[in-house]
Amino acid sequence: MFDDLTDLYQQVILDHSRSPRNFHPLHPVDRQAEGTNPLCGDQITLHLQMDGDRIKDVGFQGSGCAISKASASIMTEVLKGRTPAEVRRLFDRVHEMVTTGRQDGEDLGKLAVFTGVHKFPARVKCAMLPWHAAVAALEGNTKPVTTE
Amino acid sequence: MNAPVKNPRAPVEAGTWSAVRPDFPTLDQQVNGHPLVYFDSAATSQKPLPVLQALDHYYRCDNANVHRGIHELSNRATHAFEGARRRAAEFLRAGRPEEIVFTRGTTESINLVANTWGAANLKPGDRILLTEMEHHSNLVPWQLIAQRTGATLSFIPVTGDDGLLDLSRFDELLDNHVRLFACTHVSNTLGTVNPVAGLFARARRKGIVTLLDAAQSAGHLPLDVQELGCDFLACSGHKMCGPTGIGLLYGRQELLEAMPPWQGGGEMISSVDYHESRWNTPPHKFEAGTPDIAGAVGLHAAMDYLDGLGRDRIFAHDQELAAYAFERLKSLSGVRLFGPNAGRSGVVSFLLDDVHAHDLVTVADQYGVALRGGHHCNQPLMRKLGVASTARASFYFYNTRTEVDRLIEVLSEIRRFFSA
């Protein structure tokens, strides 16, 4: 059983949750979104700077559990240089991975540390919260998005 | 065929509460390779065998619709359903069974009052007085009816982490605009037991209608609506050893009679024409459609079970376990505790260092310890306390000190895990 736990809380995840990367607001902000998980009260504000159709810089703020914080931190590193279409495709791939444990197609790189989430269905929303915010920001959705 | 179980449980002596454990099959299992420690009874309690047997017996032997049939089974079902109502009236010391309305639970009971009494009586400028520690179910229905009627909400403040009501300005808050005062008896997050009888007496002297949210108290301590002085009381069967889907609303007879109906349908009418209808009398006026008959039968068995044990003894056990847990948690370093130091019910909310409540609860579950982590349907209170969520251990009479010791051990493991 503790294999499941250490799969969920890999050292990389614990490290990112303790010292999240890009954990600051951006000025100016081209796109932003707020995401909340109504079940636990977790909240994230995501800021994006764009360079044409590509994401130039990403910053986030908020409070959350180790999984949502690490997911946001690693996501901010992965999103730089991506187009909205690529982000939506990544969203689907990450969702597939955290719900089924499967990673089909191209290597998800450092995002693969979240594979262990699929054994903890109650925590899927924590991992997906920042991704919901990212898609909402790119779609220009100004209403807060929720994981529900 | 199982016979219904009568007088299910004799009282147990203090210190021998583990004698009730064989009555609860759910408690006897391994979770993730460890014996289950169920500390989430504030969310829902486990169900004892007499309740399961009563449900089984009803469906095997007596199942029929109520109040309509002439046949034997319908008579039996009606007798069982109305018997549960009489039992509930006795359980809450209501003056008469007609003051008991069956609902789906506390939430529906409060929504019923908001949508009937509230819609008929509230007008622009009126105020509904609540407290800052209300569960969303005793807050959002009032927000909705306030929006519809032009009434506003005001709140008795909570002092802080110690989780008491700040009553220093209570008389000012009870101003001439307040029409209704709704208050929780026991906080589901803080474990505070509010001094409701005194507050209700002061409110009623000013002609204010009072509602008690008894979701966390009905199965834990003796309740007497006369002594409490409430006009309405709402509670849920599933938090007091009964089935899910059944709950109670107590309402004072004059108020129930004056209130318009809520949902329309069968049962709640006395005569129907194509263009208008006449309403049945309370409580049937508020029970449209086929009710949860089996739920009422199960709740009857639950009330018998609880009173067999003695609710005063149950509460003493809750309090003793909570005080023990509070002391043991306090002895750990880096623990932030919420709620009063003394006199709390069997609910203890806490945070551990930098470990988020969700992470804590996930790891505890791997050790077989079932806790709740989150905002506990108390989002405004969480914001006031400056936290996103807490972890909560909630106890009932089937829990033991050994289980509390196990929780403390597991918390030490969790701390080790996250600081590794």
d(CA A56, CA A33): 16
What is the pLDDT, as a whole number, of residue B44? 98
pLDDT tens digits for A51-74? 999 999 999 999 899 999 999 999
pLDDT < 50 positions in chain B: 1-5
Contacts of A66 in chain B (CB under 8 A): 356, 359, 418
Tokens matching residue B152 = 């506003």
Give the helix ranges, DSSP H, for B150-195. 170-173
Nearest to B246 by CA among B209, B196, B301: B301
Q: Catalogue all structural domains in chain B, each as residue range(s) with its CATH number.
A: 17-47+311-419 (3.90.1150.10), 55-307 (3.40.640.10)
> How many angstroms separate the CA of residue A106 from the nearest CA in chain B?
30
Cβ–Cβ under 8 Å, residues B290 and B66: yes
DSSP of B408-419: HHHHHHHHHHHH
d(CA B357, CA B351): 7
d(CA B318, CA B4): 29
What is the pLDDT, as a whole number, of residue B6? 53
Domain boundaries, chain A: 2-141
Average model confidence (pLDDT) for chain A?
Answer: 91
Judged by phi (left if over 0) then psi (alpha if -120 to 50, else beta), residue B377 lies in: left
Residue B355, SS3 per DSSP:
strand
Contacts of A4 in chain B (CB under 8 A): 366
d(CA B36, CA B44): 15
Residue in chain A closest to B378 (alpha carbons) equals A41
pTM here is: 0.93
A63 interfaces chain B, CB cutoff of 8 Å: yes
- Using the Cα atoms of residue B23, residue B25, residue B29 and residue B31 in order, give the sign of their dihedral: negative
**More confident position, B294 or A147:** B294
CA A90 to chain centre: 10
Report the amino acid identity of residue B227.
E
Crossing angle for the helix pair A66-79 and B357-366, nearest 10 degrees? Answer: 120
What is the pLDDT, as a whole number, of residue A146? 77
What is the pLDDT, as a whole number, of residue A37? 86
Strand order, beta sheet including B100-103: B100-103, B247-251, B232-236, B209-213, B178-184, B127-131, B152-156
Q: Could you tell me how many residues make up chain B?
A: 420
What is the pLDDT, as a whole number, of residue B249? 98
What is the pLDDT, as a whole number, of residue B113? 98
Pairing mode of beta strands A145-146, A31-37: parallel
Q: Residue B247: CB partners within 8 Å, gap ≥ 6?
A: B102, B103, B104, B105, B106, B107, B108, B109, B234, B235, B236, B237
pLDDT tens digits for A74-85? 999 999 999 999
A148 interfaces chain B, CB cutoff of 8 Å: no
What is the pLDDT, as a whole number, of residue B3? 47
What is the pLDDT, as a whole number, of residue B204? 96
- Using the Cα atoms of residue B271, residue B277, residue B283 and residue B284 in order, give the sign of their dihedral: positive
Q: In this complex, do A65 and B356 lie within 8 Å of one another by their Cβ atoms? A: yes
Option in A8, A64, A120 nearest B356 (CB): A64
Report the amino acid identity of residue A2.
F
pLDDT tens digits for A89-123? 999 999 999 999 988 777 889 999 999 999 999 89
Question: Is the domain covering A2-141 a CATH 3.90.76.10 domain?
Answer: no
Contacts of A120 in chain B (CB under 8 A): 362
A82-88's contacts with Cβ under 8 Å and 24+ in sequence apart are: A82/A54, A82/A55, A83/A53, A83/A54, A83/A55, A84/A53, A84/A138, A84/A139, A87/A55, A87/A134, A87/A135, A87/A138, A88/A135, A88/A138
Option in B363, B379, B388 nearest A5 (CB): B363
d(CA B50, CA B2): 11
Nearest to B344 by CA among B356, B332, B329, B333: B329
Cβ–Cβ under 8 Å, residues B340 and B162: yes
Residue showing tokens 């449209």 = B288
Q: What letter would DSSP give residue B62? A: I
Quickly count: other Cβ atoms within 10 Å of residue B273's Cβ.
Answer: 7
Say if the ipTM goes beyond 0.85. Answer: yes
In Å, how far are A21, A122, B59, B379 from A12, measured between CA atoms? 12, 21, 54, 31
The CA R_g of chain B, rounded to the nearest whole Å, is 22
What is the pLDDT, as a whole number, of residue A144? 75
> How many angstroms separate the CA of residue A38 from the nearest CA in chain B?
9
What is the pLDDT, as a whole number, of residue B1? 37
Contacts of A41 in chain B (CB under 8 A): 374-375, 379, 382, 388-389
What is the pLDDT, as a whole number, of residue B2? 41
Tokens matching residue B384 = 């006031």
Q: Residues of B with catalytic annotation?
A: 377
Crossing angle for the helix pair A124-138 and A84-100, nearest 10 degrees? Answer: 170
Nearest to B219 by CA among B197, B243, B201, B195: B243
Cis peptide before B283 (omega within 30 of 0): yes
Option in B33, B362, B374 nearest A123 (CB): B362
d(CA B256, CA B211): 13
